[in-house]
Amino acid sequence: MIIILLGPPGAGKGTQTAALAKRYKLTPISTGDIFRANLNDRTPLGLEAQNYMSQGLLVPDDLTVRLVDDRLAQPDALGGCLLDGFPRTVFQAEELEKVLAKTGRKVDRCLLLDIPEKELMARLTGRRVCRSCSSVWHLNFYPPPADLICPLCGGEIYQRADDEEVAASNRLKVYLAQTQPLAEWYEKKGLLTSVAALGSPKEVEMAIEKALG
Ligand code: AP5
């Protein structure tokens, strides 16, 4: 199964991807996490991506598609995958079809996490993330430990630069302009399922399970 999680920044894609990957034994692939891991390691890809990410802009399509093409060819991705944060433009969605077709695969479902825009800024600016294992916390909803050391892996818990107010608000604008049209694109293909993403993470997970049947 290839499942896409679509939704605005802060909708809970990463949170739900972690839960669903475990439950359904699917390989989670997050383009944002891959870019951030490259940035931590100071690779040329990470440094190039940072120029866009720090401003809340999308990394250029050609770079992103190449990265996903490589990732989807790895052995752990040949079974089922959860795609978090990819595709993000109609061009990326078209390219994804071509990449999957090379191995006889296709997208099975695109889940749209539907949430009122006014909830998103609080989720983004309060988020804290582990630099090593990418686990997600929230200052108000799921507070991290006081010493900001990740209890899961010992990594440093920090605030993403693009979660500060200006970049976060840019990301919301970019989502509306460049990514939201994808919902209609997948709807026309009969692949879109909308899920209310307002309850607790567990409630959203249950709603997704119901939607997936
Ligand atoms: P990326 O890392 O993908 O960021 P995003 O899509 O903006 O999504 P977020 O990670 O901000 O939010 P999320 O929906 O995963 O929410 P989360 O579960 O963490 O991308 C970052 C950047 O990389 C992009 O801006 C771009 O530059 C680049 N990039 C990545 N992919 C790209 C692509 N395909 N093309 C081009 N560029 C690309 O939850 C948010 C917070 O809310 C957390 O604190 C969490 O604890 C909390 N929370 C979650 N669920 C709930 C709930 N139900 N109730 C209360 N709180 C909740």
Nearest to 5 by CA among 198, 213, 191, 145: 191
Residue 129: CB partners within 8 Å, gap ≥ 6? 135, 136, 137, 157, 158, 159, 160
Q: Which of 95, 131, 138, 182 to mutate to test the pocket of ligand 1 (most atoms within 8 A of CB)?
A: 138
131 within ligand 1 shell (Cβ under 6 A): no
Instruction: Give the pLDDT confidence of 65-84 residue by residue, as tens digits.
Output: 999 999 999 999 998 999 99
> Is pTM beyond 0.85 here?
yes
Tell me the domains of the chain and their CATH numbers.
Answer: 2-116+169-212 (3.40.50.300)
Which atom of ligand 1 is closest in space to residue 5's alpha carbon? 14
Q: Cα dist. 153→28, 120, 130, 148, 157 in Å?
A: 18, 27, 9, 12, 10
Which atom of ligand 1 is closest in space to residue 60's alpha carbon? 36
Peptide bond before residue 116 is cis, with ω within 30 degrees of 0: no
CB 24 within 8 A of CB 16: no
What whole-number distance in Å separates Cα of residue 124 and Cα of residue 11? 9
Is 157 in a helix, a strand, or coil? strand
pLDDT at residue 139, rounded to an integer = 95
Residue 10: CB partners within 8 Å, gap ≥ 6? 115, 119, 120, 121, 123, 124, 127, 168
pLDDT at residue 6, rounded to an integer = 98
Q: Provide the token pair at 149.
A: 């050391």
Residues of the chain with pLDDT under 70: none
pLDDT at residue 79, rounded to an integer = 87
pLDDT at residue 213, rounded to an integer = 82
Which atom of ligand 1 is closest in space to residue 113's alpha carbon? 14
105 within ligand 1 shell (Cβ under 6 A): no
127 within ligand 1 shell (Cβ under 6 A): yes
> What distance lies between CA 110 and its chain's CA centroid?
13
